[in-house]
Structure 1
Amino acid sequence: MTSPTTATATATPSATATATTSTTTIPAATQVETETETETERATSRLSDSPSGLRCSRTTSAVSSWLHELAQPGEHEPTSAILNYCKRKFLRPYVAILTVVGLNPISTDMSTVGACSSYVQAMMVLFVLLAGYVLRYLCGYRGDRGFSSYRDIRPGGYGNGSDVCGSASASSTPNTIGELLFGYVVPSVLNLLSFVSAVLVCKVIEHEQLQNLIERVFLLSAKPKRLCRMLWLYLGVALALLLLLFGYACSVVFMQQAQIIKVTWLAEALRAWELWLRIGLLSTILLQDLVEIIVLSSYYIECYLLRVHLETLSHKLLMHSIDPLDWMREILEFRKLLERVNQHVSIPVCFLIVMNLAYAFAGLVYLFKDFDFHYCALKLVLLNIANVMLWLFLGLLPFFVAGSVTRVCQNTQANGHQIRVRPFVYHNTSAEDLNSTLLFASSLDMSAKLFRMPIQSNYLCFAILVVTIVVLTLGMCLNLSALGKF
């Protein structure tokens, strides 16, 4: 047996050798580092000697600092930068426009004073709308034809006090129950219900779903600036439609030379306030049109965001820039957003569709049957034709927008088949995952809905065909001799 002293003596030379090796290794590493630093200093000095090298070094340092800033979490992170851009350029202007008529959503971070002021503003808009409905009835102003009787409007002159557009006794005949109900009460109720339902959707049911939709679209989209440009494009078109509606109202109100109040005792009492009555009527009409345009444009913008969101998801799946399982999760989230638009956001739009189409068809019947083209000024005839076309456009446009969303939803069902036949993009993906994606995409049943009905382009084209045939039939049968003889 070996004694402990011998074992210790035997182990000592090996330990000494190891220590010697490590001792010699450390100076070698230090020497290599020193040589590397020396070479780096020499290269830096050579680059600094020449102007081109100096520019290259500055560019390299700038790029390195930029990459370092991007790598830091917080404000310079790409996700936070996109969200900040979304809030500044899209969300805040959009909410500010909704605030004009008291339709801004109540967020969780809003103070109690801000929430109360938002509700107070909505109540003030509601009271002005009610006052406008009463003033419309007192003045005999209807959305489908302007005033129910046009007094003192002739091609050759004014001021004879006779009713020349329509029957001679129309200005003195009181309203019937049917005219009161269908000419004033029902359109006013539809307009009021659209505003009240929009307030309920924005302030009670919303729960920041609009912000969720906008942020999701911005995070997935590769062109956030294009989304902002489309927002202002939609708002520009909405402003043009508002100006057309208000321009028709201004023309009709100021073309009516006689007193606009048709109640005899009230007209005598308010004779000195005639100008202010006209201004008040135009102001309430402007507010009603503004509420309608903002509600419709909000629906159009949200449908556009849904369409962009789904198209981006489909493109990412086809390019294999998103995992199929993540794509399925995103599609399920999209279905929730789509159901919110179908179940809640479309409700005020449906009320406005009924009112607009009723105005359009009533104006058509009035033009072809009751409107006397022989004795009215040509500009009044053209104004009424333009008014009918404008109401028809506003009534049909939501169907076109909803049909475009349905078309994108139908195209998404084919994504599973498209990735299944792509051998180069999904060659590393297992057949089980591809089949699962195929089955999931094929089972999708998504569509935009109005009046709880799916809106499809083929049915929409058929409805437009029916409307066109009805208009042509009215023109052929009801008023062939209205425009005179050759």
Structure 2
Amino acid sequence: MNATTEATTASAEEAHTTTVTATATATTTETQLSDSLSLLLSSRATSAASSWLHELAQPGEHEPTSALLNYCKRKFLRPYVVILTVVGLNPISTDMSNVSACCSYIQALVILCVLLMGYVLRYLCGYRGDRGFSSYRDIRPGGYGNATDVCDSSGGSKTSNTIGELLFGYVVPSVLNLLSFVSAVLVCKVIEHEQLQNLIERVFLLSAKPKRLCRMLWFYLGVALTLLLLLFAYACCVVIMQPAQIIKVAWLAEKLRNWELCLRIGLLCTILLQDLVEIIILSSYYIECYLLRVHLETLSHKLLMHSIDSLDWMREILEFRKLLERVNQHVSIPVCFLIVMNLAYAFAGLVYLFKDFDFHYCALKLVLLNIANVMLWLFLGLLPFFVAGSVTRVCQNAQANGHQIRVRPFVYHNTSAEDLNSTLLFASSLDMSAKLFRMPIQSNYLCFAILVVTIVVLTLGMCLNLSALGKF
């Protein structure tokens, strides 16, 4: 009986011990689960917060492709095409109706006719881009003559144009301006085939900061508007300062005597249109070069950070080469015509200031206006070279990408040596550069050319008699 009681008591104590142990284990497990759940929630919250901060720091990187393309069309492509449409340079897309395409061609034809009328009016008024009205100066090579020969009381000139002045002062600059517009129309409406949209969409899909691209678009457009206002301000000042009739042909001036105000307004309107066409063509080239530069810089950064596969990078580089060739072969053609015209205006204005212009017979404010005009044409003529040189610099930097990933042990440590060598050989064999006049543009050669021009200008100033600055 006692043995049975002891056995029962031992079993009860064992059961109680087991229950206590199980309860303690359950409590410990529950505590561990609670702690793990808290850590999990905390890590998820931290991860969500860091992900939110990362998206805030780099907007657009993790957005869906359709939303990003929609943002690209609304904020970049559509305003850009509207700016091109102002002068009839909007590209013809496949989704454009036949009526819209026909209206686009008609608009370009109307602008062409207005440009032709402006060239004729420039000649009839004696207005030149490098110096304003030719009636402010003595065009005879023998000297300055009397004051009445240079700037008479009516503000006109008693001399007539020579064949050389007619050809190089009016015909050649007008032909260059006309060829730039015609070639731009052909590029945008015939050769384009939506390649501009392809370039913009590729840049937006690869870029981590699409808002910055939109800001840079408006920055370039703001600079273009400033240059346009400066050009038009010079034309307005010169036309207002011309005291006499602006038509220099005697028999035509008598018939149009009562239409003097309309002629001045018409001359200013045609000059504004010519300057507008030039500024839009140049700014379009600048914007496309900027997009190419951003595209290649993004590809290089992704390769160095190993966020893109080497084979995909090679494919993207080949697509970039096609876009670069399009800019070099087609988009740069109208820009080349404008470069020749702008630099010719600048150098002709410099020679005019150094040789022909006389402070004793014309107002000092006209001298200052012509100096500002020369600087403006020189800036417009040299800026495309600087923009093309920046694209060439980025292309040269891309050649070193293969060497840079070869010496990155922590980024490409899992990549085979064969893949690294293939990327190295591909990057080293790249020979890409921006071209103008079918010539590669490099910054070092550009700086040397500017140095030569500066020395020539200083030499002219030292050797020639600058009567435009007066005497003391």
TM range (shorter): 0.7 to 0.9
Instruction: Give the aligned residue type for 2:266.
Output: G
Is the 1:128–1:284 Cα contact (8 Å) retained in structure 2?
yes
Partner SS, residue 413 of structure 2: coil
1:445 aligns with 2:459: no
Is the 1:150–1:163 Cα contact (8 Å) retained in structure 2?
no
Q: In the superposition, relative to structure 1, how do residues 137 and 83 fare at CA in structure 2: closer, same or farther (>3 Å)?
A: same
The answer for unaligned runs of 5 or more in structure 1 is 1-42, 44-55, 67-75, 152-160
- The 2-side partners of 1:265 and 1:392 are apart by 37
Is the 2:357–2:467 Cα contact (8 Å) retained in structure 1?
no
Matched residue, 1:285: 271
Instruction: Give the aligned residue type for 1:220.
Output: L
How do 1:316-355 and structure 2 match up within 5 A?
316-355=302-341
Is the 2:359–2:467 Cα contact (8 Å) retained in structure 1?
no
Instruction: Give the aligned residue type for 1:400.
Output: F
Displacement, 1:481?
A: 4.3
Is the 1:368–1:474 Cα contact (8 Å) retained in structure 2?
yes
Q: In the superposition, relative to structure 1, how do residues 286 and 163 fare at CA in structure 2: closer, same or farther (>3 Å)?
A: farther
Matched residue, 1:22: none
Matched residue, 1:464: 450
How do 1:3-402 and structure 2 match up within 5 A?
78-150=64-136, 162-165=148-151, 171-402=157-388
Question: 1:415 pairs with 401, 404, 411, which one?
Answer: 401
Displacement, 1:478?
A: 1.8
Displacement, 1:162?
A: 3.8
Matched residue, 1:70: none
Instruction: Give the aligned residue type for 1:300.
Output: Y
Instruction: Give the aligned residue type for 2:242.
Output: Q
Is the 2:136–2:155 Cα contact (8 Å) retained in structure 1?
no
The answer for unaligned runs of 5 or more in structure 2 is 1-33, 35-41, 53-61, 138-146
- The 1-side partners of 2:254 and 2:226 are apart by 38
- The 1-side partners of 2:443 and 2:153 are apart by 43
The number of residue pairs the alignment matches comes to: 410
Is the 1:413–1:442 Cα contact (8 Å) retained in structure 2?
yes
Displacement, 1:436?
A: 0.1
Is the 1:412–1:441 Cα contact (8 Å) retained in structure 2?
yes
Is the 2:221–2:283 Cα contact (8 Å) retained in structure 1?
yes
- The 2-side partners of 1:169 and 1:285 are apart by 21
Instruction: Give the aligned residue type for 2:316.
Output: E
Q: Deviations over 1:359-412 (max 9, x none)?
A: 000000000001112222111110000000000000000000000000000000
Is the 1:149–1:163 Cα contact (8 Å) retained in structure 2?
no
Displacement, 1:482?
A: 3.9
Q: In the superposition, relative to structure 1, how do residues 169 and 80 fare at CA in structure 2: closer, same or farther (>3 Å)?
A: closer
Q: In the superposition, relative to structure 1, how do residues 325 and 167 fare at CA in structure 2: closer, same or farther (>3 Å)?
A: farther
Is the 1:296–1:349 Cα contact (8 Å) retained in structure 2?
yes
Matched residue, 1:53: none
> What percent of counterpart residues are identical?
91
Partner SS, residue 296 of structure 2: helix
- The 2-side partners of 1:473 and 1:346 are apart by 33
Displacement, 1:485?
A: 2.4
| TM-score after normalising by structure 2 | 0.84
Q: In the superposition, relative to structure 1, how do residues 452 and 166 fare at CA in structure 2: closer, same or farther (>3 Å)?
A: farther
Q: Deviations over 1:95-142 (max 9, x none)?
A: 000000000000000000000000000000000000000000000000
Displacement, 1:164?
A: 4.1
- The 1-side partners of 2:330 and 2:207 are apart by 25
Displacement, 1:470?
A: 1.0
Q: RMSD of the alignment, in Å?
A: 2.3
Matched residue, 1:72: none
Instruction: Give the aligned residue type for 2:332.
Output: S
Is the 1:374–1:483 Cα contact (8 Å) retained in structure 2?
no
Q: Deviations over 1:251-273 (max 9, x none)?
A: 00000010000000100000000
- The 2-side partners of 1:384 and 1:307 are apart by 35
Q: Deviations over 1:408-466 (max 9, x none)?
A: 00000000000000000000000000000000000000000000000000000000001
Q: In the superposition, relative to structure 1, how do residues 469 and 360 fare at CA in structure 2: closer, same or farther (>3 Å)?
A: same
Q: Deviations over 1:39-63 (max 9, x none)?
A: xxxx9xxxxxxxxxxxx9xx9xx99
Instruction: Give the aligned residue type for 2:364.
Output: L
Instruction: Give the aligned residue type for 2:438.
Output: R
Partner SS, residue 262 of structure 1: coil
| TM-score after normalising by structure 1 | 0.81
- The 2-side partners of 1:208 and 1:302 are apart by 14
Q: In the superposition, relative to structure 1, how do residues 461 and 77 fare at CA in structure 2: closer, same or farther (>3 Å)?
A: closer
Q: In the superposition, relative to structure 1, how do residues 465 and 77 fare at CA in structure 2: closer, same or farther (>3 Å)?
A: closer
